[in-house]
A and B are shown apart, each in its own frame.
Chain A
Amino acid sequence: GDSVTQMEGPVTLSEEAFLTINCTYTATGYPSLFWYVQYPGEGLQLLLKATKADDKGSNKGFEATYRKETTSFHLEKGSVQVSDSAVYFCALSDYNAGGTSYGKLTFGQGTILTVHP
């Protein structure tokens, strides 16, 4: 079945440091890929997405590129802020070979990011 693997956390950085959170996936067909963020005490919200190979999703200074050849979707940000402290989830949506999506998301285990001033 489909699966998503994220780098182990927690990740602790100083403000303005460079961030990378690795994400690799296993899927049949042609999944869409997502990064969701969960701030303390809140539900998940979409951070960015990519729907096909070589697409780059970006939002709020975060970027991730859909790499089909390495089955990866790593999240990066050039300069993190304290307000970026949250849990980050990589996810994929299922697709069958005919290109129909059932819309189910498979999540990675989440990576806790803490940014210190």
Chain B
Amino acid sequence: DADVTQTPRNRITKTGKRIMLECSQTKGHDRMYWYRQDPGLGLRLIYYSFDVKDINKGEISDGYSVSRQAQAKFSLSLESAIPNQTALYFCATSFGGGYEQYFGPGTRLTVT
């Protein structure tokens, strides 16, 4: 089984809808991250969490919110989706600072 899983893998939604992307991990890591990938822009950090009670905004947090329900679960929400949030979204985990991050398979989100 994969160490970092994301659901759904693909989602098409309409402008204004609320949507939640979920991430689960079995690696036992405290740190979890949400990124979005756009062509030609690499990956940009949306939110990150060092433990259940420590959540921080990344460089592009506007329009997004997160919830760390447990050490193993970190959800990303779009309260009112807009077309420029169409992107590939990745969840990642790490043991600590300076260590590698382990990525999930990604969720392809399309907002029409």
Contacts and interface: CB of A to CB of B under 8 A. Distances in A.
Interface in B85-112: 90, 92, 94, 96-101, 103-106
Interface of B: 4, 31, 33, 40-45, 48, 50, 58, 90, 92, 94, 96-101, 103-106
B40 A109 contact: yes
21 contacts: A32-B98, A34-B100, A42-B105, A43-B104, A44-B43, A45-B103, A46-B100, A46-B101, A51-B98, A89-B42, A93-B98, A101-B98, A102-B97, A103-B31, A103-B50, A103-B99, A103-B101, A105-B43, A107-B43, A107-B44, A110-B42
8 smallest CB-CB distances across A and B, nearest first, come from A101-B97, A43-B103, A107-B42, A103-B97, A101-B98, A46-B100, A44-B103, A109-B42
Nearest to A4: B42
Secondary structure class of chain B's binding surface, majority of residues: strand
A108 B45 CA distance: 12
- For A34, A43, A46, which residue has the most chain B Cβ atoms within 10 angstroms? A43
Contacts of B41: 109
Contacts of B42: 4, 89, 107-110
Contacts of A45: 103
Contact of A44 (B50, B90, B94): B90
A89 B90 CA distance: 14
B95 to A, nearest CB: 9
A47 to B, nearest CB: 10
